[in-house]
Structure 1
Amino acid sequence: MTDYLETARRVILTEAQGLAVLAEGLNGDFGRAVDLILQARGRVIVSGMGKSGHVGRKIAATLASTGTPAQFVHPAEASHGDLGMVTRADVALVLSNSGETPELADLIAHTRRFGIPLVGVASRPDSTLLRQADVALVLPAAPEACGNGIVPTTSTTMTLALGDALAVALMEHRQFTPEHFRTFHPGGKLGARLAKVGDLMHRDMPLVSEDTPMTDALLVISQKGYGVTGVIDALGHLTGIITDGDLRRHMDGLLDRRASEVMTPGPRVIAPEALAESALAQMQDRKITCLFAVADGMPQGILHIHDCLRAGIA
């Protein structure tokens, strides 16, 4: 077991050292690559063979999910018709540790023939790929973590990190917001965390006017099933809320009172465009179960803590 742990630590530290060298060696070519991608009217066509191809698929997915349209094209398939996917409006991001991967030859030639911008990523500056590229991103010399230098480990980790760096630089330039991110991630845990109050709230709200007798207000509370009711003024603005705590505090003569006499004025509210995760945090912090969503003082909906939990926000 000790030997296994030592191996694991050695691999991780070796790759971490490679990443440190990569970060230190970045220069103006990285900025040129970002500018080239920003200028493209089409997509980023990512390609690579073998392990570089697997990394390329992930880079393409990261770019696409962060506001930069991207697609992975397999170099072997490109040679059999898929070159038609690569247009003059695109920019190619081609990955190869050696820079001499034979399967990339047709794709590289295609970019040169039609003037398609080419960003190459490889470890050898004098390689065919980097000599042909408009922008060459050189992976620094760093030992593979396997110990014998034959298994792509550190090199693929550096390539992946370089792809992430490109994606984040592009994302920051485009001022990509969590709302934009949610557009591409509507499902799963991430989609739930980025859901807005307006996506989960109920528009059929428990509401009564300020002069509503408490006998009627109690019926609304019971019928709607939220355990509360909002109180609105003559203009429809939310001025208060009646909870079970308010009912207990005004138990003496409750049925002879009106809503305005029982309500808690100035209730805590939230905007419909706020993240539902923020609403959940407020409810948990205040130990309450409901929040009214309000815009310009007017109630737009009601959000129950169970709505957040059902949506996977926790």
Structure 2
Amino acid sequence: MPERPKHIGVDSFFAERKKLLNAYDEAKQQAVDDAVKTEHGVTGEAEVRRWLQSFLPKRFGVCKGYIISTNLQFEGPLEEWDVLLYDAIESPILFSRGSSNQNDAELKRAIPVEHVRGVLEVKATLTPAMAMKSSNKLLKLQQYIGENRYADYPQYLTEPFICAAMFIETKVESLEQYRRALDNLAVLYQYQSMIPFMGALVVRSQRNHDHSGYLQPLRSDNPIAFPDVFEMSSNFQCHDGWHGVFGTLNWGVNNYPTFLFDLLASIRGTRSQRVSSFYGLDFENSQASKLFRPTGDTD
């Protein structure tokens, strides 16, 4: 039998992406007359949590909530995180906040620091301002990172642990604005020795709605000078001397499953340089796109 370009079940796998986007678009449409349009962002967060709950193995819990440490030098205040991924088998829930009529995706839970496996910062749109907000929030994870002197009484995050950013869609008007957004996220790689940042997923491109972007660093021993056609961040240098740019060389359908399975492998502690999984990959629809033309003009 000839090989098919995608395995059985791929289309149903991508239906989960469509379900997330439909809920987000419905909330955005309902808020079209509101003076301050925030409901779609709240809905986007809740849908991301629901989506991850349905995807991840049951050993991992998904919630909005707080990281709690027994470190007596931690002064607070408690930070509220959009998405916490935690060891649901081993972790107690120290306390919950929310009304009794809220579902699991909306309740806020307090998780002991040693059981947290991942933190995701979720924004509705990728813009320079929202990228900066995501970076600033994830940088606050530094207060939970340190050396656990006593294995039985950890006060800091323990491996495996990863953090990432998610944006439901792009909302940039020019290549220069998009690059500023990437530059704001790339700041996190200057702290890579402390904060294990795996990158960002943009669920929907503003140019091709079927395409997603998986934003990651490209590393080099020498400075990287990418022309605008590659739509990458400015060149930056990290503490260990390597140079990099941040972004995605192409937008396409397979960035969505690749991010998901990289996230799963990361919180399992099994991620390597290889492809994390072939599940969800669609080689039939392998066309790639960019956000902008080389001149910076959109279609």
TM-score (norm: length of structure 2): 0.27
Higher Rg of the two aligned structures: 1
Structure with a larger share of its residues in helix: 1
